[in-house]
Amino acid sequence: KQEVTQIPAALSVPEGENLVLNCSFTDSAIYNLQWFRQDPGKGLTSLLLIQSSQREQTSGRLNASLDKSSGRSTLYIAASQPGDSATYLCAVPAGVDTGFQKLVFGTGTRLLVSP
Amino acid sequence: NAGVTQTPKFQVLKTGQSMTLQCAQDMNHEYMSWYRQDPGMGLRLIHYSVGAGITDQGEVPNGYNVSRSTTEDFPLRLLSAAPSQTSVYFCASSFRGRVGEKLFFGSGTQLSVL
């Protein structure tokens, strides 16, 4: 059974710092990995999706990497801003025989960026 | 584009009551799903559908029913609410069968069962 772990559970940094969020998964046979952002009281927004054949994806100040063999992904946020404050979740498909969209989520990293 | 719309945003029920959480999407997505989010446990899949007339169970289906009569709508029914169903419920959708398709979420329904 696929399990996803995110460390740390919470992170507080001053504005301008570069930071790394970690995600690990137990079954390396994945099709892809998604990073989501969740603001308080809101739904999830997909930030980046990395295919299993890719090693990284970039969107603006965000860079996500994927190492399938070690079962790890990192989300790098450059020059953090107060507007980046949110919970970040990673998710992978439940299994290769269950379809691409049935996702298993980590419990998230709650990020606070102080001015 | 409205995206994925969930109603209501908040609901309080008494134990034993039934209700339906509504979900609609306007992106012509084949795949729709319901998740619940509980503190410390992440999101867990309740039910999902890969198209009109087709539904299947996820990780935590007990106490919930779904149906998919149209591509746009995927309601979640609580048959007899229990305090353990107090949670935040999210509906999500995407195109089906494509490895690179992102999942789109609604803004959630916060449900309290007393």
- Which residues of chain A does B44 touch, with a Cβ-Cβ cutoff of 8 Å? 105
Would the CB atoms of A32 and B100 count as touching at under 8 Å?
yes
The residue type at B12 = V
- Which residues of chain A does B45 touch, with a Cβ-Cβ cutoff of 8 Å? 94, 102-103
- Which residues of chain A does B35 touch, with a Cβ-Cβ cutoff of 8 Å? 105
SS3 at position B85: helix
Rounded to 5 degrees, φ, ψ at A82 are -55, -30
Please give the average per-residue pLDDT across B54-77, as a whole number.
95
How many C-beta neighbours within 10 Å does residue B34 have?
27
Would the CB atoms of A107 and B58 count as touching at under 8 Å?
no
Tens-digit pLDDT string for chain A (115 aa): 889 999 999 999 999 999 999 999 998 888 889 999 999 888 899 999 998 888 999 999 999 999 999 999 999 999 999 999 999 999 998 876 666 678 899 999 999 999 9
B73 versus A40: which is more confidently predicted?
Answer: B73
- Contact (CB, 8 A) for B27 and B93: yes
A65 versus B96: which is more confidently predicted?
Answer: A65
Give residue A42's pLDDT.
Answer: 87
A5 versus B39: which is more confidently predicted?
Answer: A5
What is the count of residue pairs from A and B with beta carbons less than 8 Å apart? 65
Closest CA to B4 of B84, B103, B104: B104
- Contact (CB, 8 A) for B32 and B25: yes
| DSSP classification of residue A82 | G
A99 touches chain B (CB under 8 A): yes
Would the CB atoms of B105 and A43 count as touching at under 8 Å?
yes
